[in-house]
Structure formats: C-alpha cells, structure tokens
Chains A and B, each alone.
Chain A
Amino acid sequence: MAKIIIPTPLRKFTSNQAAVAVQSGTVIESIRDLTFQYPDLDKHLFNEDQQLRGFVRVFIGEDDIEDLQGHDTPVQQGDTISIIPAIAGGI
C-alpha cells in the first residue's frame, strides 16, 4: 500500500480524510484506486481526456511525476503521493 495526502480543498470529496491508503503499482493505478474509493474526486483531478488537470500536480516523495515517468511512474510500498492543487488565499 501507499499513501495519498489529500489537500484541504479536495477533502470534501474524501469524507474529510487527510490521507488515504491506496494500492501501489504505478501512480495512475494508485490515483485510480483513490477515485474508485471516492468517485466524486475524479472530475476534479482529470479532464475529459483523462489527463490531470492543469491546476493539480502530483508528486511522489518530493518529485513531480512529470519529471519521472508521468502516469507510469512506479509507486513502491510505503511511498507518499502528494496531490497539490492551486490555492489563492492571502487576505
């Protein structure tokens, strides 16, 4: 299993869970496991072409998956996956 950390703006789609345990394998398999558990997340993470949306980045450990092998980046047991959305608050 690996862990996906859910950012605050998306926690309303994960019953307020801050972290969710998912299958390891490839990063897309892990995220698909997350959206299988919480289907409402799907449209916030993926566009119609099943690509990650432009305001969401996915990291394994401290590396952006775009700088690794994209959707096919392997996820090891115990890895931490971060979903980072844009937030804009400041005042």
Chain B
Amino acid sequence: MSAEIKFSSEELARYSRHIILPEFNIEGQKKLKKGKVLVVGTGGLGAPLLLYLAAAGVGTIGMVDFDVVDDSNLQRQVLFTRDDIGQPKVIAAKKRLEALNPYIKFVAHQTALTSDNAMDIIKDYDVIADGTDNFPTRYLVNDACVLLGKVNVYASIYRFEGQATVFNYTDKLGITGPNYRDLFPTPPPPGLVPSCAEGGVLGVLPGILGSIQASEVIKVLSGVGETLNGRLFLFDAATFETRTLKIKRRKDNPLNGDNPTQKGLIDYQQFCGFEKPSDHAEKFPVKTINVKQLHNLISQKANIQIVDVREAYEYEIANIHGELMPKSEVAHHVQKIAKDKQVIVHCRSGKRSADVIELLQEKYGFENLYNLEGGILAWAKEIDHSMATY
C-alpha cells in the first residue's frame, strides 16, 4: 500500500526516533506520510493535536475553523502567539505548522463545519479528530464520519475533566466499533452543560487530552498498538483519577443499528434543542440596545436598571456595575427586576442574556427588558478599552 512513499535524507533524519522505534519503524512512518487527517477546531484540543501530528509527519493535515485568534485563547491554545491575535486561526496555524514541518501538506478550511459542507470537506480525509466545543458540531462530525466510513478520534473537556475515545473504528477482523450515538443517543438540553467560555477550563487540560487524541490518530494511521476503540478514557485533573470504561454498539443507533433510519445529515441545532423561536418569542422578540446607547443612558444618569446574568467569578474579571443575577438563579430574583423602567440585561457576549429575556418575557410578562448587543465584550471593545476581556 505505502510502497510508493519515499523519504528524503532530511526526512529520514527528522523522523529517526520513529524509524528506530520497534514495531513502528519505517513502515509506520510511511503510513503516517500517506495519511490524511482533518482536525475540526483549532482551539485548545486542536493546538497540541496539530503540533504533534505535524511534528510526527502525517502527510496531509486539514484544519477547519471559522474563528480568529483572541488574547483569551492564549491561556491554552499553544499554537498561537500574541502576533496572531485578530488573525483567522486556520491561517495562523498553517503558518506556524509550515515553519515546523516543510515536508508535509496543510489545508486550511476557513469556515464553520455545517450540514451543508461537512460531507464535502470530510470525504477527502482518512481520520477525523474532533476538537470542537459544542454538541451540534459533535453530532455533525460523528454522523458524517459514520456515513462516510471515517474514523472519528474524539476528546472533550470541561473544567478539570476530559473524555477521549476512538469512534467508528473498523478493526483487523472487519468489525466496526461504537460511535458517539452509541455512547450518548441524545444531547443534554441547552444550558445544562455550559461551554468552556462560560464554565471555564484548566488551560493545560486540553493539552493533555489533545495529546492523547494525537497519539490515537497516530496509532490508527500506523496500525501500531491498540486504539481506544470500544473504550472511553476519563481523566480528572483535579483528583488525578483515571478510568477506562467499556462502550458498545447499540441496536437502536439511528445511523448503523439494526434498523437505521437516518441516511444523511440533519439539522443539528434543532436536534440539540436550539429550537426555532416559539410562537410567544416570535410575537415578542427580544429588544436590544447597543453599548453606545447604553453609555449615553448612563452618562445622562437615566433611570435604568442594569442586570448582569453572568457568574460571580466572571463579574470579578470585569463588570459595568450591573446587579449580579446569574442566569441559573434569575427565577429566584424576579422580584428584584423593575417592571416600571428600562432594564438592560447583559452577559459576556449577549447570548445568555437573550435567553434570560426570552424566559422573563414568556413566563413573567416583562415588556421593559433590553439585551445588550455583544455583551460586556462589546463594552470593552467600544467604550472602555482598559477593561479586561475573557
């Protein structure tokens, strides 16, 4: 298979520690060079993944991300430096990785992975490494991998805790192992498991889990060792507790169970409960105010109330003197929210506050609530440049 793969003397020198590794040797290295890996998300998991896969000599490395580098990324996304801030992540990553390894090919997909483009992007790769940060994309990557017969090397993190496994792996006997839908048939309701942006994450944790992912990708490509196929690895950095649990395929998997019902990709936002607006929400859309308008109101000492629905630890980083009522506790504070004057509700970026306003309007009949567009991040960007962002 890999007979046509040749190495220059520089490459042989570069990869010598692999080549002298028993079991791995030149054949393993050839398989890496022949391999095509797509890393979805160039963030905390993507950073070590990309660095190690590039260093190891995987022949073609694709990366998908729509985002740009932000200062708050540098706490864990070790691919980037301050010079990259504001640059598209895939462009900054490609530049960094090309400087590391000139003997391999990089492909930058500067886009969000969606139901419309996922099959087209993923079809050209052998192995997909999922380093995304939300449930809709997790299910999208999984389903596309199962439908296209690709291996999905998976890791996810939350605060101090990480999970890793290899999904949809077909072993030497031709038996395909479990996928994400066997492990978790349905996603949690929106809001129960906050994102790392809301819940926080230990910076080194994605370094550990992303490195495990890189190791599994290299094992899948080279055929060396035993992958995490059928096993879920759990790691708690806080207690240093590790567990490896057995996972199996389920008969009712809609993609490849006994009676498959799903033949293509679906609407993953809807699947994950990010419903289209309800009738009430359509009739009473969330009103908004921008940071300049709010700044004017404050300057004029207007009679307004500002409600901050972030967590206390976020409030400590930066605040605009709003009354702190974390999203999960808002229902207990309803009586503290004025009904007779303009109330501005804000969070970090404007998403949580919009959810809170929808709830307050629908359940408690508020009509005087305004969502601060772009949240406190927009305030830091446009009004108070000295304010810390996160």
Q: Contact residues of A with B, CB < 8 Å?
A: 5, 7-9, 18, 44, 53-55, 57, 59, 62-64, 66-67, 82, 84-91
Contacts and interface: CB of A to CB of B under 8 A. Distances in A.
Contacts of A86: 135, 138, 156, 183-184, 187-188, 193
Nearest to A18: B239
Interface size class for chain B? 35 or more
B247 interface: yes
B17 interface: no
A87 B131 CA distance: 12
Contacts of B250: 66
A59 to B, nearest CB: 5
Contacts of A7: 161
Contacts of A85: 188, 193
Contacts of A89: 44, 133, 156-158, 195-196, 199, 201
Contact of A62 (B192, B199, B239, B243): B243
Contacts, number: 112
Interface of B: 41, 43-46, 67, 73, 77, 130-135, 138, 155-161, 163, 183-188, 192-196, 199, 201, 206, 232, 234, 236, 238-239, 241, 243-248, 250
Given A9-B192, A18-B239, A55-B188, A87 B245 contact: no
B132 A88 contact: yes
B206 A64 contact: no
28 contacts: A5-B243, A8-B159, A8-B161, A8-B236, A9-B158, A9-B194, A18-B238, A54-B184, A55-B184, A55-B188, A57-B183, A62-B243, A64-B248, A67-B246, A82-B234, A84-B234, A85-B188, A87-B161, A87-B193, A88-B156, A88-B193, A89-B44, A89-B156, A89-B199, A90-B46, A90-B131, A91-B43, A91-B131
Contacts of B132: 88, 90-91
A5 B241 CA distance: 10
Nearest to B185: A54
A31 B239 CA distance: 23
Nearest to B181: A54
Sorted nearest first, the 8 A-B pairs with minimum C-beta distance are A91-B43, A54-B186, A87-B158, A89-B196, A54-B185, A55-B188, A86-B184, A91-B133
